[in-house]
Amino acid sequence: MSTTQTIEQLKKLKLRTMASTYENILQQPLHQQPETHELLALLTDAEATQRINNKTERLRKLSKLRYRAFISEVMVSEERNFSKQQLQYFLQHQYMEKAENIFITGPTGCGKTYLACALGNHACQHGISVTYLNLMSFMNQIQIASIDGTYLKFCRQLEKVQLLILDEFGLAPLNYESKIALFKIIEERYDKLSTIIVGQIPVSNWHEYINEPTLADALIDRLSAKANPIELKGNSLRTKK
């Protein structure tokens, strides 16, 4: 089989990165081309790396993260009340292995959403499925799903995603339908999958915010049973920019 036939066969097998890498190697002088075993290793590594990158990008798109945030840009300091040790713990995904939740609270502009999106982006890079929703979007989608008959499907999607990020918690009043849906989702995720809750109001005010004593008790109990609270401090980062 000629090199041209080999390249075409690789393309037919959908090994396009391997094919393009092989084409590039063939353009090098003969004395610079790798030995057979090295060539095979190079082609295999190129294909595997590209597939990982494709999966990461696909997960990012599906996650609908608000920001394409990066861990390297997350600020850690005593003043922010967020340490390198805390960040390192999250980067090792130990909290997800233990099905722990994360609560990120603090004043407007202190970087709550950016931190949550950075953790979400980092998860995508490691092949973990992520879904980001702000509170208003969550309530709107619950309302639409109830009307068009996709309520159970929508809830199941959020129940099964490996990392769920719910942003702007406490920004607007929760209607009763959304409270029930949120409880159902958290109940199914409890002790199985991790959830990140982001909002301005402190955890101590969540009960009052939910404003349904029995439901609030049950929901907060499941969220708080295994949780890592982060109370960010400091002035607005938007003002600094």
- What integer is the mean pLDDT of 197-220? 94
Phi, psi of 224 (to 5 degrees): -90, -15
User: Residue 7 has what pLDDT?
Assistant: 83
Domains and their CATH numbers in the chain: 3-58 (no CATH), 64-240 (3.40.50.300)
What is the rounded average pLDDT for all residues in the chain? 91
- Side chain identity at 130, as an amino acid letter? V
Strand partners, 225: none
Q: How far apart are CA 99 and CA 203, in angstroms?
A: 19
Q: Is the pLDDT confidence value at 167 over 90? A: yes
User: Residue 188 has what pLDDT?
Assistant: 97
User: Residue 238 has what pLDDT?
Assistant: 60
Q: How far apart are CA 228 and CA 83, in angstroms?
A: 13
Cβ neighbours of residue 81 under 8 Å, at least 6 residues apart? Answer: 230, 231, 232, 233, 234
Q: pTM score > 0.75 for this model?
A: yes
